[in-house]
Amino acid sequence: MSGQDKIVLDRSVYTALGDSLAASDFTAIEFNDGASDAKLVYEQSTGQLFYNPTTDLGDESTIARLDTLPDLTINDFELL
């Protein structure tokens, strides 16, 4: 998936992302084991993509599960 398709996010829904995506808005981790400064957190071992608008532990919600466990970067996202 990485580099081929885009995950499109609606800025009116994901308001904490602002008007554009920055590299610091995304992180890929092996296991979701704590708070992150990123608002988009991808757990590589499960394929779960979390949105965490406050970056506080416990505020995250799952927005997608990618069964093929692709390698993702911030470049795989588009904000509309």
pTM of the model as a whole: 0.87
pLDDT in tens, 16-39: 999 999 999 999 998 766 668 899
Which pLDDT score, from 0 to 100, does residue 73 have?
95
Domain ranges for the chain, please list them.
7-79
Q: Are the beta carbons of 23 and 17 closer than 8 angstroms? A: no
Q: How far apart are CA 80 and CA 69, in angstroms?
A: 24
**Proportion of the chain above pLDDT 90, given as a percent:** 76
Per-residue model confidence as pLDDT tens for the chain (80 residues): 556 899 999 999 999 999 999 999 999 998 766 668 899 999 999 999 999 999 888 888 999 999 999 999 999 999 99
